[in-house]
C-alpha cells in the first residue's frame, strides 16, 4: 500500500519506514542484519565498541545482509573523525547520532554520500541540525528509553514536524502498526523503535533478562539522573532502586571503577577517556561530578545486557516494555507491524467513505489486536 512508502524508504533504500535504533551492547550485527533483511533499517551501536571492533562489526553485518544499514556514532567521541572515515570506506548507508553532530561532521558525511540522521529531544535541536544539512531527524519523546526528556512524543513530534522540512522519524512509545499509522498521521515519515527490537528473538540480550522486560508493566520504569547525571529511563529493579538512594559521593567511587572497567573492555586509553569527559563537560555544560558519573553507564549496562546480571547493572527501556508480551523474530515483527498498519489504514479509509473494507456501512479500523 502506497501509504506505507514514505520519503524515508527512498532516503534509506528500505522497504518499510521502520528503524531499529542503535542500542549499546544490544544492536550488534545479528540484530542489525535481521532488521535489514526484514525490510527496515537496522543500526549498529558503536559507542560501546572500539574502532577495531566497529570495523569487524560492519563487515560481519555485511556478511549477513545485502540490504542497507546504519551505524550510530557519538559526536563527542575522541575518534569520531576516524569512525566517519571508516563508514565512508565501508560504504555504510546511514550515520545516526545520539547527540547532535557538528556542522563539519555532517558535511563530511554528506559529501561522501552517507545519509545523516541525528537524534533530538527538542524542537530547537531539530531546527539546528536541519539548518546544518542533516538529511532526516529522529525525535524521541519522554516515553523512550535511555536518555530522554520530559515532553511526551504526542506533543514533541508535531512541534518538530512543523518546524523542519526534512523527514522526521518518531521514537518513544512505538511498538505496533497502530503506532506507525499514528506517527504518519502526525506527519512523521516513519518510526524508530528500540525496546521493541530488543525484545525479539534476534536480539543478543540474554533470555532471562528479556523475561524481566516482559513481566514489566508501564509503571515499572523510572527516570533518574542517578546513573550518569542526565535523566534516563530504566527498568525498575532492586539495583536501580538502591542506586537512586545512593549518595553522589558513593556514585562517584563507582564511576571511577566503571571507567577503569570500560577502559579494559574497549582498549581505550585513559587520555582518551579524560579528553572525552572534558569534551562532554564543554559541549553539554555538565558539572565535573556529572562527567564523572557518566563513566557508570557503559559497564552497568553491559553487566545487565551482556552478562545477564541485572542485580549488578541497569536495563535501559522505554515505557512501551509494559505493552510487549512476546519475542518474535525481526521478520515476524515487521511483517506484523506492516500488516496491522495496512489494515488500520484500510479501516480508516472505509470509515471516511461510510463503508468498511468489506463493504458494510459503519466499519471500524481493523487490526487493533497486538497479537
pTM of the model: 0.87
266 secondary structure, DSSP code: H
Residue 288 lies in a domain: yes
Helix (H, G, I), strand (E, B) or coil at 358: coil
Indicate whether 34 and 55 sit together in one domain: yes
CA nearest to 200, candidates 321, 308, 24 = 321
Range of the domain at 294: 208-321
Indicate whether 11 and 142 sit together in one domain: yes
Residue 11 lies in a domain: yes
What sign for the dihedral angle of Cα 39, 171, 213, 326? negative
Indicate whether 160 and 226 sit together in one domain: no
Q: Which residues of the chain have pLDDT under 70?
A: 1-2, 247-296, 355-371
**Looking up cell 535511555, which residue turns up?**
146
* pLDDT score at 350: 86
Residue 23 lies in a domain: yes
What's the total number of domains in the chain?
2
Indicate whether 250 and 305 sit together in one domain: yes
Residue 347 lies in a domain: no
Indicate whether 165 and 185 sit together in one domain: yes
* pLDDT score at 227: 79
* pLDDT score at 365: 37
* pLDDT score at 261: 56
CATH of the domain at 171: 3.20.20.70
Q: Is 154 exposed, middle or buried (0-12, 13-18, 19+ CB in 10 A)?
A: middle
What percent of the chain has pLDDT above 70? 81
Indicate whether 187 and 68 sit together in one domain: yes
Indicate whether 183 and 232 sit together in one domain: no
CA nearest to 255, candidates 243, 239, 237, 267 = 243
Residue 260 lies in a domain: yes
What pLDDT, in 10s, does the model give residues 33-90? 999 999 999 999 999 999 999 999 999 999 999 999 999 999 988 899 999 999 999 9
Amino acid at each position: 500500500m502506497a501509504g506505507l512508502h514514505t520519503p524515508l524508504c527512498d532516503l534509506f533504500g528500505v522497504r518499510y519506514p521502520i528503524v531499529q535504533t542503535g542500542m549499546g551492547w544490544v544492536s550488534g550485527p545479528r540484530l542489525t542484519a535481521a532488521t535489514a533483511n526484514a525490510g527496515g533499517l537496522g543500526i549498529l551501536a558503536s559507542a560501546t565498541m572500539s574502532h577495531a571492533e566497529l570495523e569487524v562489526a560492519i563487515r560481519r553485518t555485511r556478511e549477513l545482509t545485502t540490504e542497507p544499514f546504519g551505524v550510530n556514532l557519538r559526536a563527542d567521541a575522541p575518534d569520531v573523525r576516524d569512525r566517519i572515515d571508516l563508514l565512508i570506506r565501508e560504504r555504510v548507508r546511514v550515520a545516526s547520532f545520539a547527540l547532535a553532530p557538528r556542522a563539519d561532521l555532517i558535511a563530511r558525511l554528506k559529501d561522501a554520500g552517507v545519509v545523516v540522521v541525528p537524534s533530538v529531544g527538542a524542537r530547537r535541536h531539530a531546527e539546528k541540525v536541519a539548518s546544518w544539512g542533516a538529511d532526516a531527524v529522529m525525535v524521541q519523546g519522554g516515553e523512550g528509553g535511555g536518555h530522554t526528556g520530559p515532553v511526551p512524543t504526542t506533543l514533541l513530534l508535531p512541534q518538530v514536524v512543523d518546524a523542519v522540512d526534512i523527514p522526521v522519524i518518531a521514537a518513544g512509545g512505538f511498538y505496533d502498526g497502530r503506532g506507525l499509522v499514528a506517527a504518519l498521521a502526525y506527519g512523521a515519515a516513519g518510526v524508530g523503535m528500540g525496546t521493541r527490537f530488543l525484545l525479539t528473538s534476534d536480539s543478543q540480550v540474554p533470555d532471562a533478562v528479556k523475561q524481566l522486560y516482559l513481566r514489566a508493566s508501564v509503571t515499572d520504569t523510572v527516570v533518574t539522573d542517578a546513573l550518569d547525571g542526565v535523566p534516563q529511563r530504566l527498568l525498575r529493579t532492586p539495583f536501580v532502586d538502591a542506586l537512586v538512594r545512593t549518595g553522589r559521593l558513593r556514585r562517584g567511587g563507582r564511576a571511577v571503577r566503571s571507567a577503569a572497567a570500560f577502559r579494559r573492555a574497549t582498549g581505550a586509553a585513559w587520555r582518551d577517556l579524560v579528553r572525552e569527559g572534558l569534551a562532554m563537560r564543554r559541549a553539554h555544560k555538565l558539572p565535573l561530578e556529572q562527567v564523572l558519573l557518566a563513566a557508570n553507564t557503559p559497564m552497568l549496562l553491559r553487566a545487565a545486557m551482556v552478562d545477564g546480571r541485572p542485580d549488578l547493572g541497569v536495563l535501559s527501556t522505554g515505557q512501551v516494555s509494559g505493552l510487549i508480551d512476546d519475542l518474535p523474530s525481526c521478520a515476524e515483527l515487521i511483517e506484523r507491524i506492516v500488516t496491522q498498519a495496512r489494515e488500520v489504514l484500510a479501516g480508516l479509509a472505509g470509515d471516511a467513505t461510510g463503508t468498511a473494507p468489506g463493504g458494510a456501512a459503519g466499519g471500524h479500523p481493523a487490526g487493533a489486536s497486538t497479537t
